[in-house]
Structure 1
Amino acid sequence: NGIFCIREGRADVMETKAFLRSKPDCVHATQSGPMLVIDGALHPRFLRDSDSRYIRNGVGTSKDGTRVVFVISENPVNFHSFGSYFRDRLQLPNALYFDGNVSRLRAPALGRDDAGFAPLGPIIGVVE
């Protein structure tokens, strides 16, 4: 599993053991798992043809910690496809899965407003 760590001037997704070794000074952090991409490599246990498919959400970060990308799938996907999107399309060396069954997004400008008050996992908000 891994940690999404926000600290002064940067944000990182780190595998839990690496996080414990480096002990970064996080202002905000959340733990989840599994890691999707670890130092540029897709998680080794993901199966390309897995039939475990859900709407999934996660977060990836750039190596320099200046770019954070949150992703939610529009359709059910397996871990292999979801992790590959972070690694291959977004070119992010580290990515963390947040959740599948409770994935929601409210972004009316993007045409997405997942209604309802079902149980939720981590809540991330961006304020300008």
Structure 2
Amino acid sequence: MTRWLIALSSFVLPVVAGPEKKVVDGVTYHILHAKTAEVRVIWKDDKGRQIETFPQANAYLTGIGETPDTIMNGGIYEPGGIPSGLLIQNTRELHAVNRRDGKGNFFLKPNGIFLIGDTGAAVIDTTEYPPAGVKVTHAVQSGPLLLRRGKVHPEFRAGSANRLHRNGIGVTRDGTVVLAMTDFRSPKYPNLHEFATLFASLGCEDALFLDGDISQMRSGEALAKESGPFGSFIAVLKETEKPAK
């Protein structure tokens, strides 16, 4: 019995966090807090083929020896599943930063970039990219910025009637990454001002809008179920416990 207990304690066991369901001001959200080391941005596999669906994203991560806990679609994209802006995956720039003007949420300046570098995770204004002295390993550009240094985007109106399904990502002062998405069955949806203040209430100084009506956040068995195409994904891996000594 003693030998069995010692052997069992030497295994590395996955810790499944999964998103929390939370109601804030009448809006139901799925919220997930993650350590920077467990977050990935993915768009293509190792052969340069686009990863377009949740099952493909799940299979890719599993195939390279990583175990996804939760996957959420990433930033806004163009026809053909091409990211609208910067996409960096495993230190490789797969799509360049986009500083152009245009119409739609992506171009509602200031827009921004979620990135992971050798100094941790951050959400920055696109005009601040590239950050000096930081080696970026993962990044996705989208827009508009929800929060920058604790301030809500100047174009957002608290009384806006533009209430839609939304997802986004933020970073707290201690470097924790926060993913949030409204529930499809929520009795009401937030406007952008309310979505920004959600991230502020979760301790984020900086946060970025990712996408709208089509957004999904999946965990567990749902990762393998078919989905429509997306332009990129943000994955949170299962954290592993250190073996007991």
Is TM-score (shorter-chain normalized) higher than 0.5? yes
2:192 corresponds to: 79
User: Equivalent residue for 2:149?
Assistant: 39
Q: Which runs of 5+ in 1 are unaligned?
A: none
Shift of 1:28: 0.8
Residue of structure 1 aligned with 2:208, choices 96, 102, 110: 96
Return the letter of the residue paired with 2:195. Answer: F
TM-score of the superposed pair, with normalisation by structure 1:
0.83
Structure 2 equivalent of residue 106 of structure 1: 218
Q: Which residue of 1 aligns with 2:158?
A: 48
Percent identity reads 35
Q: What secondary structure, in the 3-state scheme, does the structure 2 residue paired with 1:103 have?
A: coil
Distance 1:118 1:51, change over 3 A: farther
The one-letter code of the counterpart of 1:97 is: F
Q: Distance in 1 between matches of 2:228 and 2:162?
A: 21
Q: Distance in 2 between matches of 1:21 and 1:123?
A: 22
TM-score for the superposition, normalised by structure 2:
0.46
Q: In the alignment, what sits opposite 2:120?
A: 10
Between the two proteins, the alignment pairs up a number of residues equal to 123
Q: In the aligned structure 1, how far is the partner of 2:167 from the partner of 2:179?
A: 7
Determine if contact 1:57/1:103 at 8 Å carries over to the other structure: yes
8 A Cα contact 2:119 2:134, kept in partner: no
Match of 2:178?
69
Which runs of 5 or more structure 2 residues have no equivalent in the other structure? 1-110, 239-245
- Secondary structure, aligned partner of 2:168: strand
Give the deviation of 1:3 after TM superposition.
Answer: 0.5
The residue aligned with 2:167 is 57
**Is the CA contact 2:173–2:203 (under 8 Å) kept in the aligned structure 1?**
no
Partner AA of 1:59 in structure 2: I
Query: CA contact under 8 A between 1:99 and 1:121: conserved in structure 2?
Result: no
- Root-mean-square deviation (CA, aligned residues, Å) is 2.2
